Structure 1
Amino acid sequence: MTGLGTIINSVSIIAGGLVGHFTSRLFRAEQQEALNKACGVSVLFIGIAGAMEGMLSIDGGTISSGKSMLVVLCLAIGTVIGELIGIEHGFESFGEWLKQKTGNSKDAEFVNAFVTASLTVSIGAMAIVGSIQDGLLHDYSTLAVKSVLDFIIIAVMTSSMGRGCAFSAIPVFVFEGSITLLAGLLSPVMTELALAYLSLVGSLLIFCIGVNLIWGKKVSVANMLPSVVLAVLAAYLPWGF
C-alpha cells in the first residue's frame, strides 16, 4: 500500500504525544524543565553527530574537515530566502490557528511546542529517502524505523513542552505524503551526493533546534529550511565542496 509509511509515522507521533501528555502529570514544573533541557542536549548531539559525519573524513590516519563553504553558503543564502518568504511566521500562524481550533487557546507554549516538534521530526534524510522508497517500491521499512525514533522524541518533548508537539503529525503527514506521491520525479534528483549534502545541512538545523530547546528561542530555524533545498542543488554544481 503506497503511503503506509507516512500513515505509520504520523500515528506514531500522535501516540507519542498521548503518552507524553499523560506522563507529564507525573512531573513537577522543575522536573519538566530538566526533561526539556535533557531533550535539548540529546537533539544537540544528534545534530553534531550528523554534521561531523558529513564534514570529517579520515585520510591515511589523519582526520580532516571539509565542506565548510557548502555549509556557509547554504545556511547564509537559505536563511535570507526564508526570512524574505517568512516561513517561521507561516509556521507560527498555522500553529496559532491549530491552537484556537483544537481548544488549546490557554496553552501559552502550544505554538512553540508545535513548531519545534514539527521541525525536529521533519528535517532529515530519513524522511525523504523513506518516502521515496515507499512511493516507488512500497517499502516502508525506513519510515517504520523513523516512526520508532519519532515516538520516543515526541513523547519526551510533549512531557516537557506540552500537547502542541503531538500536532507535528500534520506537517509530517503532508511532507512525507507529498514526497511519496512525487517519488517518481524526486528519485532521480536525490543522488548519493545530494543526500549527503542534505543530511549535513539538515543536521546543522537539528543542532539549532537543540540550541533553542536549551537556551530558549535563539534561532529562527524554520526560516533556514531553504538551506536544505540549496544543499541538494549544490550537488549538481560543476565544482565540488
Structure 2
Amino acid sequence: MSVFNGTDETSEHTMTGTLVNAAAIIAGGLIGLCLQKGIQERFKATIMQAISLTVILIGIRSALNASDLLEVIVCMALGSLIGEAMGIEDRIEAMGRLVEKRYSRSSNGGFARGLVTASLVFCVGSMAIVGSLESGLTGSHETLFAKSLLDGITSVVFASTFGSGVIFSAVPVMIYQGAITLGASMLKPFLTGDVIAQMSGVGGLLIAAIGINMLEVARIKIGNMLPAIFLPLVYFMVVQLF
C-alpha cells in the first residue's frame, strides 16, 4: 500500500478522502430513510444478519494482521481499562441522546442507537486507520474511496433500520479520520508497517465485536475498548525512547 512505499509527498487536499467518506454516509443514509417504509421487517432483519456476519468476517481478517499476539492481549486489556475509566461509551451514547433531543422528535432511543452503532462501524477498523494515514502521508485517497463505497451501502441498510441517527455518524467519522490524517505528519517517524499491523489487528477484534453486537448475541462495550487501537503506537514510542 502506498503509505509504506517511501513516498514523502503530501497533498494540500489531504481531507478529500474523509470528506468523500462522510458524503457517502449522508447520501446512503438519506436513501435508507426513503426506503424505511418500503422494506419489510423480515427483509431488514435478514439483511442486517447478513451484514453482521460480514462485519465479523472483516474483523477476523483484520485481526489476523497482528503478528504479536501477546501485545494485542495487553493492548486490549489495558485499553479497555482506560476506556472504562473514561466512560467513553457512556459519553458517546449521551452525545447521541443530546443530539436526538435537539434534532429528533422521536424519543424511542432509535436515533441514539443508530448514531452509536454506525459511528463505531464506520470509525473502528483497519480501513479507517490505514486510509486516513495514507491520505495524510501521501495525498492518496484510494483506500478511503473504497471505504466510502462500503460505508455508503451499509448506511442505506442502517438508516432504513435505525433511522436518521445514521446520517449524523458522518460527523464523528470526519472528526476521527480527519484527526488521524492531520496528525499523520507529526507521527510519521513512528508509523512503521509493524505498528500499523498491530493497530489493525486490535481494530479487527473490535470490528468482530461490533458484528456480535449487531447479531444481539451479547452486549460488548466496544466504545470503552477504543483506546486499545492506539496502544501499539504508544508501545512502539516507549520502546524507541528506552
- TM-score tier after normalising by the smaller chain length: 0.7 to 0.9
CA distance in 1, matches of 2:66, 2:37: 40
- The SS at the match of 2:180 is helix
Q: Tell me if structure 2 keeps the 8 A contact 1:120–1:206.
A: yes
Corresponding position of 1:61:
none
Distance 1:98 1:46, change over 3 A: same
- Give distance in 2, aligned partners of 1:139 and 1:52: 25
1:200-219 equivalences under 5 Å are: 200-215=201-216, 218-219=219-220
1:81-230 aligned at under 5 Å gives the runs: 81-215=82-216, 218-230=219-231
**Counterpart of 1:36?**
48
Equivalent AA in structure 2 for residue 130 of structure 1: G
Look up the equivalent residue of 1:95 and give its one-letter code: G
Structure 2 unaligned segments of length 5 or more: list them. 1-12
How far is 1:216 from its partner? 5.7
* Structure-2 separation of matches of 1:128 and 1:40: 21
Taking the aligned partners of 2:189 and 2:229, their CA distance within structure 1 comes to 17
The Cα of 1:159 is off from its aligned counterpart by 2.3
User: What is the count of residue pairs matched by the alignment?
Assistant: 228
Stretches of structure 1 that go unaligned for 5 or more consecutive residues are 56-66
Residue type matched to 1:37 in 2?
A: Q
Q: Summarize the Cα distance change of 1:24–1:175 in structure 2 as closer, same or farther, 3 Å threshold.
A: same
Return the alpha-carbon distance in structure 2 between the equivalents of residues 41 and 220 of structure 1: 19
- 1:9 is matched with which residue? 21
The one-character-per-residue Cα deviations of 1:115-164 (angstroms, maximum 9, x if unpaired) are 11101111123223322332343322221111111111222222233221
TM-score of the two chains, using structure 1 as the length reference: 0.86
Aligned-partner Cα distance in 2 for 1:198–1:31: 35
Q: CA distance change for structure 1 residues 35 and 218 in 2, over 3 Å: closer, same or farther?
A: same
1:2–1:180 contact (8 Å) kept in structure 2: yes
Query: TM-score normalized by structure 2?
Result: 0.86
Structure 1 position 45 matched with structure 2 position 46: no
In structure 1, what is the Cα distance between the partners aligned to 2:72 and 2:180? 25
2:31 maps to which of 19, 22, 28: 19
- Aligned residues with identical type, % of pairs: 37
Deviates more, 1:67-76 or 1:101-110: 101-110
